[in-house]
Chain A
Amino acid sequence: MTNKRYGANFIYRQSFIELDARERATALFDAGTARELLGPFDRVESPWLAMQGVTPQEDDGCVVMKGKIAGQASVVVALEGAFQGGSMGEVSGEKMTAALDLAYADSKKGTPTSAVILLETGGVRLQEANLGLAAIAELMGSVLLLRKHAPVICLTAGTVGCFGGMSLVAGLASYVVMTREARLGLNGPEVIEQENGIDEFDSSDHALVWAIDGGEQRYATGLVDALVEDDTPQVVEAIRKFVEKGAPAVHRSSQVDLYRSRIGALDTSRQWDPKELRTLWTAKSATEGKQ
């Protein structure tokens, strides 16, 4: 396996992770169809950062692009992980929600418009606290509306990963795509260590972090729909397939009986090796839920 990793495929791969948000969004579209909305030259930035001595970014760390993916109308909203950790502020949050609402309006008028959300984020931007949290709640409301008509696809490739309130957006998605390098969880390891001590979670134990939050674990436990290499063509192909597939009849977050019984079956008297859940929660059984 080591030889395979360092073979020609690895050397000649085009890293998706090394791309910034704008480059990632552009890569997903059919050639020549992408158009950015509210780009940097529109200068719609955060109203709250400069007054705190924090330099704003002209797109507030959120890129919105409209175009076609696999020939179908799509919108991509991409968070820039390098700006304020991809955190949600008033403007970046509203860009995402309004984009999904416009996709929903088009879908209702007869043009199903998929949404692809690129999540590199730690959640709420503390400098905007309550407006960031409210933005996440509103975005979640808009995901619920759109996903009935067109797929809402979440992609987390790393290095920031998807944490905090935005992990609930991934939870509501029609499909989730991750790389091995990426992580997905509600609370980051540092926060857990802070709140409940190093025995609860040693955040410096990288193997533990990826064993729990990493793309491979999330995929192997049926929580994520595709695991891709950090290779742009592979990422693009995975997204295209889900756009073509269309919205599923039942979403993961609606399979309450299934997941409630899985939680009920866990022996909470001890910590578990995350690999134990791979056998208990296989991807196959995720489609057996009611509703």
Chain B
Amino acid sequence: MEQIELNYPAKRKIPKRAHVGVVGSGDMEVLLEPGEDMVAHVFIRTSVDGFGASWKAVLDRFFAKYDGAARIQINDAGERPASPNCAWSKRWR
């Protein structure tokens, strides 16, 4: 199991926490909570090793637009190489 940590600059506080998803095939669990500082901290646990670059690519793109100060935890059991992208876009609203 791999643990990936990514940080992105933030510009605003977020009001409340949110949770979506299931740690299952083609899906992921996402927990989002307001962060203390002006940074979005992302912690990923994934049972598929070696996709760090894919995760970074997907999240870099996302956080280029999203500027909330949040602690985001992702629990992922992705089984297909494309899964970070698919599951993330499925779960982010």
Direct contact of A and B (CB under 8 A): yes
Interface residues of A (CB under 8 A from B): 20, 39-41, 50, 53-58, 80, 82-83
Q: Is the CB of A55 within 8 A of B22?
A: no
Q: A40-B29, A40-B31, A41-B33 are in contact. Are A55 and B17 (CB under 8 A)?
A: no
Q: Are A55 and B19 in contact (CB under 8 A)?
A: no
**Residues A58 and B75 in contact, CB atoms below 8 Å apart:** yes
Question: Which B-chain residue is minimally distant from A21 (CB atoms)?
Answer: B22
A57 to B21, CA, bound (A): 10
CA distance A40 to B20 in the complex (A): 10
Tell me whether B45 is interfacial, beta carbon within 8 Å.
Answer: yes
Question: Are A55 and B31 in contact (CB-based, < 8 A)?
Answer: no
Which of chain A's residues have a CB closer than 8 A to the CB of B27?
82
Contact B31 A83 (CB under 8 A): no
- Given A40-B31, A55-B47, A58-B75: A83 and B19 interface contact (C-beta under 8 Å): no
Contacting residue for A40 out of B1, B19, B25, B76, CB 8 A:
B19
A39, A41, A53, A56: the one contacting B23 at CB < 8 Å is: A56
Contact A57 B22 (CB under 8 A): yes
Chain B interface residue number, banded: 10 to 19
Taking the closest CB of chain A, its distance from the CB of B42, in whole angstroms, is 15
With both beta carbons as reference points, the residue of chain B lying nearest to A39 in the complex is identified as B19
For A57, the chain B residues whose CB sits under 8 A away are 22-23, 29, 75
Q: Report the minimum CB–CB distance from B81 to chain A (whole Å).
A: 17
* 23 sample A-B contacts, Cβ–Cβ < 8 Å, listed by A number: A40-B19, A41-B19, A41-B31, A50-B1, A54-B1, A54-B47, A55-B1, A55-B45, A55-B75, A55-B76, A55-B77, A56-B45, A56-B75, A57-B22, A57-B75, A58-B19, A58-B31, A58-B73, A58-B75, A80-B22, A82-B22, A82-B24, A82-B27
Residues in chain B near residue A83, CB distance under 8 A = 22-24
Tell whether B83 is near chain A: CB-to-CB under 8 Å.
no
Q: Which residues 7-32 of B have a CB within 8 angstroms of A?
A: 17, 19, 22-25, 27, 29, 31
Q: Find chain A residues with CB under 8 A from B19 CB.
A: 39-41, 58
A82 and B22 CA atoms in complex are apart in Å by 7
**Which residues of B are found within 8 Å of A41, using beta-carbon distances?**
17, 19, 31, 33
Measured CA separation A80–B19 after assembly (Å): 15
Tell me which residues across on chain A come within 8 A of B29, comparing CB atoms: 40, 57-58
Interchain nearest-CB distance for A156 vs B (Å): 18
By CB atoms of chain A within 10 A, which of B23, B46, B73 has the most? B23
Residues of B close to A20: CB separation below 8 A? 22
Known: A41-B31, A53-B1, A58-B75. 17 other contacts (CB 8 A): A40-B19, A41-B17, A41-B19, A50-B1, A53-B47, A54-B47, A55-B46, A55-B76, A55-B77, A56-B23, A56-B45, A56-B75, A57-B22, A82-B22, A82-B24, A82-B25, A83-B22
Query: Residue of A at shortest CB range from B31?
Result: A40
Among A20, A39, A55, the most chain B Cβ lie within 10 Å of the Cβ of A55
Tell me the bound Cα distance from A57 to B47 in angstroms: 12
Complex contacts, A56 vs chain B, CB 8 Å: 23, 45, 75
B17's closest neighbor in chain A, by CB?
A41
